[in-house]
Amino acid sequence: MALPLTETAAPPPEDPELEQLEIDLLLEAVYRRYGFDFRQYAVASLKRRLWRRLAAERVGTISELQARLLHDPRCMERLLLDLSINVTSMFRDPTFYLAFREKVVPLLRTYPFTRIWCAGCSTGEEVYSLAILLEEEGVYERTRIYATDINENVLTTAREGVFPLASMQQYTENYIRSGGKHDFSRYYVAAYDGAQFPHSLTENVVFAQHNLAMDRSFNDFNVIICRNVMIYFDRALQDRVHGLFHDSLEMFGILALGHKESLAFTSHAGSYDEIDPAERIYRKIR
């Protein structure tokens, strides 16, 4: 589990400029040594997490943390857990799924085959939700979902399809509000404290590691869903990823973002029409 954002952090250094220099050097070191590129992550949350790791490692400065990271790969693993924020849930923001059902699915019906890229899928709750929705709408069979994340660990969980039983009540409510057509309990089998979802739901899903900050496009898509991932990036990196998505979307393809993510602040705002502005569902028009 990633550490919470604000448990007691190490005291902030007295000299903000020095701190910034140390952070820049640490991120550069992490990138050059391990290939993980956090250099363009949104700075405010990133700093909080570094302070947190500093306290947990009982080191006094970011430079000391850097030394440990370079010499001890296990320390890097711990930092990686801190930096990857995997919070997710099934039918998160039910109104989004409702809008997807009502406004996007009708478009998908007109396609012989649909490729969907779910970028930053975390532990898979989003992917299973989508698969359930598409199945209920009768289009799952001619859909392939490419579900990617930077973090191999969350993908392993995603492939297993076992989610906490304790969350099912919340997910059931979400499912109903998202326009779900059945009794949600038909989709899982309780086993100990887990809810196992059937493998049939991932028959048309490919889970793969992909880093939005570094990797290239790997296919053409009709739909790209990337929710609550880019809010952790700075503007320059957001622009890069939007470029990647724009290149990967077919003309009139659909782009869906998180509720608080806007195309307005990116250089690609002019390339899309709004399908549902409140739900941040867009359609590529140029």
Partner 1 sequence: MYDVIVIGTSWGGLDAVSRLLDGLDDAVRQPIVVVQHRSVESQEGALARILGDHTSRTVCDPDDKTEIEPYHVYLGPPDYHVLVEEGHIALSTDDVVEYARPSIDVLFESAADAYGDRAIGIVLTGANHDGARGLARIKQRGGVAIVQEPETSTRRAMPDAAIAATDADAILPLDEIPKFLYGLCT
Ligand X SMILES: C[S@@+](CC[C@H](N)C(=O)[O-])C[C@H]1O[C@@H](n2cnc3c(N)ncnc32)[C@H](O)[C@@H]1O
Site for ligand X in 16-75 (CB under 6 A): none
Question: CB 180: neighbour CB atoms within 10 A?
Answer: 23
Per DSSP, which regions of the chain are E strands? 114-119, 143-149, 162-164, 189-191, 194-196, 205-209, 221-226, 249-257, 272-276, 281-284
Rounded CA-CA distance 158/147 in Å is 9
Shortest distance (Å) from residue 214 CB to ligand X: 7
Rounded CA-CA distance 142/67 in Å is 51
Question: Which one of 211, 239, 259, 267 is in contact with ligand X (CB under 6 A)?
Answer: 211
Which range of residues in 60-68, 108-116, 137-145, 224-232 is near partner 1 by CB under 8 A? Answer: 224-232
Site for partner 1 in 63-122 (CB under 8 A): 85, 87
Q: Is 12 in the site for partner 1 (CB under 8 A)?
A: yes
Rounded CA-CA distance 22/64 in Å is 10
Q: Is 48 in the site for partner 1 (CB under 8 A)?
A: yes
Helices (H), 60-104: 62-71, 73-83, 94-99
Site for ligand X in 85-124 (CB under 6 A): 85-88, 92, 120-122
Q: Which residues bind ligand X (CB under 6 A)?
A: 84-88, 92, 120-122, 126, 149-151, 154, 211-213, 227-229, 232, 258
Q: Name the site residues for partner 1 (rule: CB under 8 A).
A: 2, 4-6, 12, 16, 42-45, 47-48, 85, 87, 228, 230-232, 235, 238, 258, 260-262, 264-265
